[in-house]
C-alpha cells in the first residue's frame, strides 16, 4: 500500500487576464499548498477502482466519476500496460471549496501510479493526463508554491516561498465555479479585469509578502461575494482577527484564507473563529 498526501491548493493571487477564443479564461495565479490535506492510497494487488471515506466523503460525488478514476484512465491511454490497483481516498477537505481538493486528489493518484510504474514525475504523459482531466491538476502534480498561467496548462517552476502561517475558513456553502466565471461577463476575445505584469518577487518578511500579494487581487472574489454573501462574512471574520496581515478568498470560493506573523497567532485566530462559528470549517496551517 502506497500513500500520498493531497494538500489543499491556495490561490494567493488570481488574475483574470481575459477570455480566450476557445472559451477558457486566461488566468495568472500564484499558488501555495497547505499542510491540511486529503490522503490517497493505492493497493496494486486489488482490482482497479476507488473506495472513499472520511468526514467530507459524502459530498465528493460517485466514485465512478471521481477525478482520481478519470486521471488514472487518462494515463492508462498513454502508457501501454500501465499497472493500476485499488485507490482509497480519505476525504478531509471540503468539496467544491476553491482549494483544489479534487484536483489535488487526482494529482496524488498520478504520483502513486508514477511510483508503481517507475515513471519520472517529469514524464510528459503524466502532465498530459493531468491537463486532460482538469485545469487545476497540472499545478498540483508537484505541490509546492509556483505560478500557473493560461487555463492552468502553463505551470512555472517551483518557488522558494517561506512557510506562511495561515488560517483557512470555509463557511459551508458551495459556489458554482461556472457561475462565478459567468459573472465576469466576458465574451471570447474580451480582456479581463486584470492587466499588466503580476507578482514576480516572493522574498521578505510577512509584511513585505502581504504587500506584494495585495498588488494582485483575486478577480473572482467580488462575484463570489455577490453570489454568496456569507463569503463577505467570512472575510470580515478573518479581518477582525488580532495580528492578521492579509485576507483573501481562494479560487472561486468559498474558502477564505488569512496570513499571520506566526503559527501561534494563526492558531489563536482559528480557535476564536471556530468558537464563534461552529458550523464553519476552520483550520490553522502552513502554506508553502
Mind telling me the catalytic residues? 9, 136
Neighbours of 128 (CB within 10 A): 15
Cα–Cα–Cα angle for 189, 192, 194, rounded to 5 degrees: 145
Q: Residues 120, 91: contact at Cβ < 8 Å?
A: no
Instruction: Tell me the sheet residues that pair with 154.
Output: 149
Cα(278)–Cα(204) distance, integer angstroms: 35
Using the Cα atoms of residue 95, residue 100, residue 101 and residue 105 in order, give the sign of their dihedral.
positive
Cα(272)–Cα(281) distance, integer angstroms: 13
Residue 256 has φ and ψ, to the nearest 5°, of -120, 145
Backbone torsion region of residue 109, taken as left when φ is above 0, otherwise alpha when ψ lies between -120 and 50, otherwise beta: alpha
Amino acid at each position: 500500500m502506497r500513500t500520498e498526501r493531497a494538500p489543499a491548493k491556495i490561490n494567493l493571487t488570481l488574475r483574470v487576464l481575459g477570455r480566450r477564443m476557445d472559451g477558457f479564461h486566461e488566468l495568472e495565479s500564484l499558488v501555495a499548498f497547505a499542510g491540511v490535506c486529503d490522503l490517497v492510497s493505492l493497493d496494486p494487488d486489488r482490482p482497479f477502482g476507488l473506495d472513499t471515506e472520511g468526514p467530507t466523503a459524502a459530498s465528493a460525488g460517485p466514485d465512478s466519476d471521481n477525478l482520481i478514476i478519470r486521471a488514472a484512465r487518462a494515463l492508462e491511454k498513454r502508457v501501454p500496460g500501465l499497472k493500476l490497483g485499488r485507490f482509497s481516498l480519505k476525504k478531509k477537505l471540503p468539496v467544491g471549496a476553491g482549494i483544489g481538493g479534487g484536483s489535488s486528489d487526482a494529482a496524488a493518484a498520478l504520483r502513486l501510479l508514477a511510483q508503481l510504474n517507475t515513471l519520472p514525475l517529469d514524464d510528459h504523459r503524466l502532465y498530459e493526463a493531468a491537463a486532460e482531466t482538469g485545469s487545476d491538476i497540472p499545478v498540483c502534480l508537484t505541490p509546492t508554491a509556483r505560478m500557473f498561467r493560461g487555463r492552468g496548462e502553463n505551470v512555472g517552476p517551483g518557488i522558494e516561498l517561506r512557510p506562511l502561517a495561515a488560517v483557512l475558513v470555509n463557511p459551508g456553502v458551495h459556489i458554482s465555479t461556472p457561475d462565478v466565471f459567468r459573472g465576469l461577463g466576458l465574451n471570447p476575445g474580451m480582456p479581463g479585469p486584470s492587466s499588466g505584469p503580476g507578482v514576480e518577487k516572493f522574498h521578505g518578511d510577512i509584511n513585505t509578502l502581504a504587500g506584494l500579494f495585495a498588488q494582485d487581487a483575486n478577480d473572482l472574489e467580488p462575484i463570489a461575494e455577490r453570489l454568496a454573501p456569507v463569503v463577505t462574512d467570512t472575510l470580515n471574520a478573518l479581518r477582525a482577527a488580532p495580528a492578521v496581515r492579509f485576507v483573501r478568498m481562494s479560487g472561486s470560493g468559498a474558502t477564505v484564507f488569512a496570513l499571520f506573523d506566526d503559527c501561534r497567532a494563526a492558531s489563536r485566530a482559528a480557535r476564536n473563529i471556530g468558537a464563534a462559528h461552529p458550523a464553519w470549517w476552520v483550520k490553522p496551517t502552513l502554506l508553502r
